[in-house]
Amino acid sequence: MSTDSTKAKPEGNSDRQLAEAILPLVGGAANVTSVSHCMTRMRLGLADRSRVQDEPLKALPGVLGVVEDDTYQIVLGPGKVARITPEFEALVEAEAEAARDRATAQVAAGQTAGDPAGDPAGAPRTADELAAEGAAIRAARKEKNATPVKLMLRRVANIFVPLIPALIGCGIVAGINGLFTNAGWLPALTPALAAIASGFMSLIAVFVGLNTAKEFGGTPVLGGAAAAVIVFPGVADVSAFGQKLAPGQGGVLGALFAALLAVYVEKACRRLVPSAVDVLVTPTVTVLVAGLVTLFGLMYVCGEIATGIGHLADWLLQHGGAAAGFVLGGLFLPLVMLGLHQALIPIHTTLIEQSGYTVLLPILAMAGAGQVGAAVAIYLRLRRNTSIRKTIRSALPAGFLGVGEPLIYGVSLPLGRPFITACVGGAFGGGVVGLFYQLGTSVGSTAIGPSGWALFPLLKGDQGLGAIAAIYGLGLAAGYLVGFVATYFFGFSKQMLSELNAPTETETAVGKGTSPEPPHPGSPEPSPAPAPAGGPGSLV
């Protein structure tokens, strides 16, 4: 399929049509080995990375950008990715089924894979060979960035990211319930809203246990069973380290370690227990050993750790205030670039479990505000660079809603200095929110994942919603303003401005009254800022 034919414009059409436009650009169903998604990205495992047409893919309306990490990630935006991914999976399965049918028909007709009639070149490559080649390519790419710490953080993220939609939904319901309660509206409905908002959080340990066991190769339901001990009301009758346990003590950290222990116990049993009695012995030993260790060790220890995390966050912002917010807001984008931001996910979840909201997320979200301010400054400074300005115009609305990857990987990071000035904007925004915390008003989020303007419905703190929203909005404004000013005046050297604003050959030809030479068929379109390989994933 030619480049021109694949650059269909599905704008305004169904999600399935966008999925249909994406599939051939990633090499077709035969090139897709896995499909999943997080809050903003569709994540694809690829057999052969070289078969992907990056530029036409990024040019599709509805595709906000691409990021290359351990998987090939297509940025589609929150909400939309959850609708497009199932359509894409269905297309992959349908195409794969059609390929199997064709292969069966060829075999029935006597056309073997090595038959010259079936393959004029006489040297076909089998699916196994392609898969092996793709695995080698992926292994080589992963080896460059696959440090033990980053691999572990990715696995931790894989445990918690699937929980984010429920956290968001329940968080918004909790906000609505708080609004109704404070205003005295619909008193008969507020208990039901409270139950809906709190039900998931009361059992989040079970979901963490299920996902942990699945991620580490155990039986999910056994991981969930081990973690369920933590939230069982009857643990109040159990004592450990001279103290009575409380239901929920240890929280998500206890659930994670309980399920991880269950995985190792289960795997040991699978190796040692005779197959004749495995179905009886292995589950029993797994839940028994993991349950006892959880009750008489993990719940207490992880409870102390969780309490310490809460106290540390409170102490840091109470005593550090603006300085702490400045550092956190300024360092978040570099943490994202290194993939270390994933370590914050269980910390956010622990804070939400303890107090109903995380005070760290609104501060870290200011990094996106600095990024937006920097992008506006770049747009104004590079008046002659139509390609970069086009990228900014398409990515800026998503940036206001907290989807920062297109601006990071498509604009500021490749330019270099604007990435630093964007971090400065995020630092000042974080400093504003941190200052108000020190003055006595905490601003938090009831869920993780969204940022930018999309975080407003999830705001919660120790004051009224109006005051909290005003402080958060003030932080965003500071991030926008400082990111803009720092980038406009300090984001470019004279040489950078001269080179980036130089007229292109096409503009020069048009200015002379001549028609620009058309591009050669199949030649790539110019791209001002290709996404760097190996870029880390987002918080979701």
pLDDT tens, residue by residue, 486-515: 999 999 988 888 888 876 544 444 444 444
Find the mean pLDDT for residues 93-105: 73
- Residues with Cβ within 8 Å of 389's Cβ and at least 6 positions away in sequence, in order, are 379, 382, 383
- Residue 217 backbone phi and psi in degrees, to 5: 85, 20
Residue 358, pLDDT above cutoff 50: yes
Instruction: Give me the pLDDT at residue 469, please.
Output: 94
Residue 183, pLDDT above cutoff 60: yes
Half-sphere exposure of 187 (CA within 13 A, CB side): 1
For 477-502, the DSSP string reads: HHHHHHHHHHHHHHS--HHHHHHHTS
CA–CA distance, 289 with 310 (Å, rounded to integer)? 29
Find the mean pLDDT for residues 124-133: 40
- 38 is an active site residue: yes
CA–CA distance, 480 with 48 (Å, rounded to integer)? 40
Q: How many residues in total does the chain contain?
A: 540
Which strand (E) or helix (H) includes residue 166? helix 164-183
Instruction: Give me the pLDDT at residue 210, please.
Output: 96
From the candidates 38, 170, 302, 423, give the one annotated as an active-site residue.
38
Residue 472, pLDDT above cutoff 90: yes
Could you tell me the pLDDT band of residue 164, with boundaries at 50, 70 and 90? Answer: confident
Residue 25, pLDDT above cutoff 90: yes
Which strand (E) or helix (H) includes residue 65? strand 65-68
95/519: higher pLDDT: 95
Could you tell me the pLDDT band of residue 134, with boundaries at 50, 70 and 90? Answer: very low
Q: What is the pTM of this model?
A: 0.71
pLDDT tens, residue by residue, 395-445: 898 889 888 777 887 788 888 899 999 999 999 999 999 999 999 999 999
Residue 151, pLDDT above cutoff 90: no
List the one residue out of 307, 312, 310, 302 whose CA is nearest residue 250: 302
Instruction: Give me the pLDDT at residue 127, please.
Output: 36
pLDDT tens, residue by residue, 208-233: 999 999 999 999 999 999 999 999 99
Instruction: Give me the pLDDT at residue 218, please.
Output: 92
- Residues with Cβ within 8 Å of 439's Cβ and at least 6 positions away in sequence, in order, are 321
Q: What does the mean pLDDT of the chain come to?
A: 82
Could you tell me the pLDDT band of residue 136, with boundaries at 50, 70 and 90? Answer: low
Residue 119, pLDDT above cutoff 80: no
Could you tell me the pLDDT band of residue 126, with boundaries at 50, 70 and 90? Answer: very low
Could you tell me the pLDDT band of residue 129, with boundaries at 50, 70 and 90? Answer: very low
Instruction: Give me the pLDDT at residue 175, please.
Output: 84
User: Measured between alpha carbons, how far is residue 344 from residues 25, 437, 448, 467 in Å?
Assistant: 34, 20, 10, 26
Residue 372, pLDDT above cutoff 90: yes
User: Do 223 and 256 contact (CB within 8 A), yes or no?
Assistant: no
Instruction: Give me the pLDDT at residue 109, please.
Output: 55
Q: Over pLDDT 90: what percentage of the chain?
A: 44
For 233-295, the DSSP string reads: GGGGG-EETTEE--TTTTHHHHHHHHHHHHHHHHHHHHHHS-HHHHHHHHHHHHHHHHHHHII
pLDDT tens, residue by residue, 29-75: 889 988 888 777 898 989 888 899 988 898 888 888 888 877 888 98
Instruction: Give me the pLDDT at residue 287, please.
Output: 97
pLDDT tens, residue by residue, 283-301: 999 999 999 999 999 999 9
Instruction: Give me the pLDDT at residue 9, please.
Output: 44
Radius of gyration of the chain (CA): 26
User: Measured between alpha carbons, how far is residue 513 from residues 179, 383, 509 in Å?
Assistant: 63, 21, 7
178/456: higher pLDDT: 456
Residue 466, pLDDT above cutoff 60: yes
